[in-house]
Structure 1
Amino acid sequence: MTAYFSEKSFRFLRALARHNDKAWFEAHRKDYEAHVRQPFLRLVGDLQPDVAAISPHFRADTRTVGGSLFRIHRDARFSHDKSPYKTWQGARLFHERRREVAAPSFYVHLEPGASFVGAGLWHPESDTQRKVRQFILENPGGWKAAAHAPKLRRRFALDDSQMLVRPPRGFPADFAYIDDLRHRNWAFLRPLDDAAMAGPDLDRVVAADLVALAPFVDYLCAALDLEF
């Protein structure tokens, strides 16, 4: 099988990081389409049967607008960094009700030296955080199985980039998973090196990761009263 990405994909993204302006991007738009966007859309399409087999409520959507692939353009309206383009490309394999309520998703990220696959909730609102914390408190056995399975932990890491300094108020200090309640994001991630991202079996690698992450996503869906 032909690989999705190549050194040309990484070369384009590295060059974009050095020349992050509209004139350069427009001059190299064909490279973006040929080596980043179209290959990623092909990967998303090839993952559709795998996502459907995991859950009929999740989508790998190849639409160019409103689909799984994130736009390369940055929303810089409220940022000090006014560079117009992201220096990475990502795709979210999302829940069918994502526009109605907060929902977990699976995610694939392409970035030179920093690619990864993962799943969970990223930057959820405070109300969503409270729901998840309360559900973990009330269902600790399920949380242990979904988030502390040794096989999962050997392969993925629970994101700890944003943590409360101390456990949230109102939860018993002796709760077995009190430190897990300090998380603001609930997402497991696994880095993929450039060689893996450029490999011909990337879709199979990602599909196996999605299967491994599915019980965790199922648990988050239950916490948010979503079908899985």
Structure 2
Amino acid sequence: MISNQKIYNYLIELENNNNRDWYHENKELRIEVNKEFENIIQELINQIGIFDSSILDLKPKDLTFKQVRDTRFSHDKSPYNPVLRAHLGPKGKLPISVGYYLFIGANNKTFLGGGLFTGMFKEATEMIRKYIVEHGDEFENILNEPVFKESYCLKGEKLKNVPHGYNKDHPQVELLKYKSW
């Protein structure tokens, strides 16, 4: 079995050699790293499945995102993402909505989170904001619950200003600025 350090080393090398030649020359290593990543995902499925059975039938290979980047509209023309990413949701990786997200990047930059990523889904963003407007105290009570705060925090992309159509004096105005929860 490949070590996690080997995953990080591979990602560092990809970050430093982000070109087609290096990528294809290291195909065997890439396959090993992807297999280990899928093993990690399977372990997550097993552990999360203890309290969330909606993901138990998922297959790790179906949950990962490709490393090949679409550079058409980007200033960064590097062809590959030097990260490994997976989304574990009740319906797999797509549509991206409520679920769990694993990100492994170079230099031990690892992130595991859960929640609702709505950046691409305006209807979902509006649905959550409407809920916050109507039930903001309930939402805030959950976030401030000591047991919740021990292990979790609210993070996500956030607007600088109050979203159009929302009252800037709303008691949970800072929660309304989020685009993901």
Q: Same fold (TM over 0.5)?
A: yes
Cα distance change, pair 98–117 in 1 and its aligned pair in 2 (3 A)? closer
For residues 114 and 158 of structure 1, what CA distance do their matches in structure 2 show?
19
The match for 1:13 is: 11
The match for 1:150 is: 146
Higher RCO (CA-CA < 8 Å; seq separation 6+): 1
Taking the TM superposition and a 5 Å limit, the aligned residue runs for 1:1-228 are 5-34=3-32, 36-58=33-55, 61-64=58-61, 67-96=62-91, 99=94, 103-111=97-105, 112-122=107-117, 123-160=119-156, 162-186=157-181
Secondary structure in 1 aligned to 2:6? helix
Post-superposition offset of 1:63: 5.0
Cα distance change, pair 168–104 in 1 and its aligned pair in 2 (3 A)? same
Instruction: Give unmatched runs, 5+ long, in structure 1.
Output: 187-228
The total of aligned residue pairs comes to 179
When the two chains are superposed, the root-mean-square deviation of aligned CA atoms in Å is 2.5
Cα distance change, pair 88–50 in 1 and its aligned pair in 2 (3 A)? same
Instruction: Give unmatched runs, 5+ long, in structure 2.
Output: none
State the TM-score, normalizing by the size of structure 2: 0.83
Post-superposition offset of 1:83: 1.5
Is this contact kept in 2: 1:20–1:85, CA < 8 A? yes
Task: Write out the 4+ residue segments of structure 1 that deviate beyond 6 Å after TM superposition.
Answer: none
Name whichever of 4-13 and 130-139 sits farther off: 4-13
For residues 54 and 175 of structure 2, what CA distance do their matches in structure 1 show?
27
For residues 28 and 9 of structure 2, what CA distance do their matches in structure 1 show?
13
Aligned residues: percent identity? Answer: 21
